[in-house]
Amino acid sequence: ASLSLGQYTFVQNAFSFGLAVMAAATLFLWFSRSHVAPAYRMAVTISGLVTAIAAYHYLQIMLSWEAAFSVVGSSIEVTGSPFNQAYRYVDWLLTVPLLLIELILVMRLARDETISKSVWLGGAAALMIILGYPGEVAEASGTRFTFWVLSMIPFIYIVYQLVVGLKGSISNQPENVRGLINGAATLVVISWLFYPIVFLFPLIGFTGGAAITAVEVGYTIADIVAKAVFGILILAIAIRKSEAEG
Amino acid sequence: ASLSLGQYTFVQNAFSFGLAVMAAATLFLWFSRSHVAPAYRMAVTISGLVTAIAAYHYLQIMLSWEAAFSVVGSSIEVTGSPFNQAYRYVDWLLTVPLLLIELILVMRLARDETISKSVWLGGAAALMIILGYPGEVAEASGTRFTFWVLSMIPFIYIVYQLVVGLKGSISNQPENVRGLINGAATLVVISWLFYPIVFLFPLIGFTGGAAITAVEVGYTIADIVAKAVFGILILAIAIRKSEAEG
Ligand SMILES: CC1=C(/C=C/C(C)=C/C=C/C(C)=C/C=O)C(C)(C)CCC1
Ligand SMILES: CC1=C(/C=C/C(C)=C/C=C/C(C)=C/C=O)C(C)(C)CCC1
């Protein structure tokens, strides 16, 4: 491949970092369940579940990366075993709907509203990931772009719902957490924006080793923000609401 | 083998997805035990046990798959180590009776009825799996078909019991869960129907790599619905009944 030894190692380190952060966040979140009132425990449980699922997939991604390349002298050669991109998409298919459900659960809406919002937002998130995958693995730029456009439709729906649809419910939240919940919704929108941008890197001039490195490291950073940092924000909201409600 | 690289990877991804879903569902179900009245905890414990057993078997299935094939250039060759179909059947032998017992337990029938229904339905389920296995590993289509027919006998008995026999008990359930319990029984019938159909794929014209891919991915999807989705439905029933009685 056109990957340099430095690029290869950098990506590997990023994956290992991702694994460590996700595993640590999982343990922290689950240990913290007992600090939270029963009504908010499911939100915290799911936050930890999301980072646990991600930890597993970072392990698989790292192993697949190591199997795909070998160091020969001071250069990198492909072994023939392909680097499996699908682990990311499998991870997202599971975790992206769950991330939205975390946010909905911590708001503690009426049961009907919780269920309908979970189904609509979770379903749109799953659709977005499924539509992105054929583009990710496509060789041709045209195909990559077409699926990007298709996947942007549910993406925009979700962002719209978070920015406009959830705002009404946020104004009914207790005052001491309104800022945090707004922060969590904003964090989702901003961190999620990274993904469609990173996806376009190969189309906007990054090629070869630089493109691979930028895409893999970019997704890893975005994942850490969207899962671990977000999960801890959800925990903070749950702790404050538990305190306020006594 | 006649398996293409794309098919090989797709099946591997499906197994990894199965493993992640089953493990995540296990943790979620066990963490949720505390949200449920003691009378319903055993049903939820068993739901998590079923997905835990499945997670273990998906790991074994995935490792067996990786050991059975190797990527040479851009094609797939068999290594000689056979792909072990038995893991699925061992898994089913344990989990299929437990799935029926989950449903019976969450209904909270009289103790005698719980025991007799568990023995009869659980026994029929075990028999169904045992009769299917010789067909699954048979080379000859005739043998495959014969054991399919034999295994269909306990299958039809179970479906009949769920559709007709359990209906009487369902009408004695509290009103707020009748819909959910009906839904769970229907989910069993529909998701279980997949298995004998998938089993027939090789007899109805799918051959080579396409047949293997269709069978393995088909079973994996059916397993996720029948174990993880079903387990969460059982949890939802248990939570609602706990609230109503509590
Ligand atoms: C819109 C769009 C995409 C969006 C992906 C997103 C928004 C992923 C979010 C992942 C998260 C939040 C992971 C968790 O940690 C894809 C699939 C790249 C394909 C191109 C178009
Ligand atoms: C009728 C029939 C079968 C039925 C299998 C079933 C119904 C399996 C259910 C498995 C479940 C529910 C797994 C759990 O998750 C076999 C054995 C394929 C053999 C062919 C005939």
Q: What is the mean pLDDT of each run of 10 residues along chain A (246 residues)?
A: 88 97 98 94 96 97 94 88 90 96 90 92 96 90 94 95 82 87 90 92 82 91 96 95 85
Average pLDDT value for residue range B219-232? 96
Ligand nearest to the CA of B132: 2
B9: nearest CB among A30, A86, A94: A86
C-alpha–C-alpha distance, residues A53 and A113, integer Å? 27
Residue B169 has pLDDT above 70, yes or no: yes
Within a 10 A sphere around the Cβ of B14, how many other Cβ atoms?
Answer: 24
Contact B32 A42 (CB under 8 A): yes
Average pLDDT value for residue range B122-136? 96
Of the listed ranges A80-94, B71-85, B88-102, the one predicted with least confidence: B71-85
| Mean per-residue pLDDT of chain B | 92
What pLDDT is attached to residue B1? 52
* Residues on chain B touching A82 (C-beta within 8 angstroms): 5, 9, 71
Q: For ligand 2, is residue B226 a contact (CB within 6 Å)?
A: yes
Q: For ligand 1, is residue A155 a contact (CB within 6 Å)?
A: yes
Give A211: exposed, middle or buried? Use CB within 10 Å, 0-12, 13-18, 19+.
middle
C-alpha–C-alpha distance, residues A227 and B231, integer Å? 25
**How many inter-chain contacts (A to B, CB under 8 Å) are there?**
52
Q: Are strands A75-78 and B69-72 parallel, antiparallel or unpaired?
A: unpaired
Average pLDDT value for residue range B218-234? 95
Ligand nearest to the CA of A193: 1
pLDDT band at B97 (very low <50, low <70, confident <90, very high): very high
Which two three-digit tokens encode residue A226?
Answer: 């969207």
Q: What is the pLDDT of residues B64-73, one digit of tens each?
A: 999 999 888 7
Comparison of pLDDT for B151 and A244, the residue scoring more: B151
Average pLDDT value for residue range B123-147? 94
B76 - beta bridge partners?
Answer: B71
A72 - beta bridge partners?
Answer: A75
Say which residue the tokens 């691979």 belong to: A212
Average pLDDT value for residue range B216-241? 95
Nearest CA in chain B to A51: B24
Kindly report the pTM of this predicted structure: 0.89
What was the ipTM of the complex prediction?
0.85
Residue B74 has pLDDT above 80, yes or no: no
Distance from CA of B35 to the nearest CA of A (A): 8
Nearest CA in chain B to A33: B31
A94: nearest CB among B9, B24, B32: B24
Of the listed ranges A124-138, A215-229, B88-102, B193-207, the one predicted with least confidence: B193-207
Which two three-digit tokens encode residue B118?
Answer: 């568990």
Q: For ligand 1, is residue A225 a contact (CB within 6 Å)?
A: no
Q: How far is the CA of A88 from the centre of ligand 1 (A)?
A: 10
Of A155, A186, A187, best ligand 1 pocket probe by most atoms within 8 Å of the beta carbon:
A155
In the three-class reduction of DSSP (H, G, I as helix; E, B as strand; rest coil), residue A172 is classed as coil
Ligand 2: nearest atom to the Cα of B225: 15
Contact A52 B17 (CB under 8 A): no
Asked if B198 and B215 touch (Cβ cutoff 8 Å), the reply is yes
Average pLDDT value for residue range B157-183? 86
DSSP assignment of B66-126? HHHEEEETTEEEE-SSPP-THHHHHHHHHHHHHHHHHHHHHHT--HHHHHHHHHHHHHHHH
What pLDDT is attached to residue B54? 98
Q: For ligand 2, is residue B151 a contact (CB within 6 Å)?
A: yes
Residue B154 has pLDDT above 70, yes or no: yes
What pLDDT is attached to residue B28? 96
- What percent of chain B is predicted at pLDDT more than 70? 100
DSSP assignment of A76-92? EEE-SSPP-THHHHHHH
Distance from CA of A107 to the nearest CA of B (A): 18
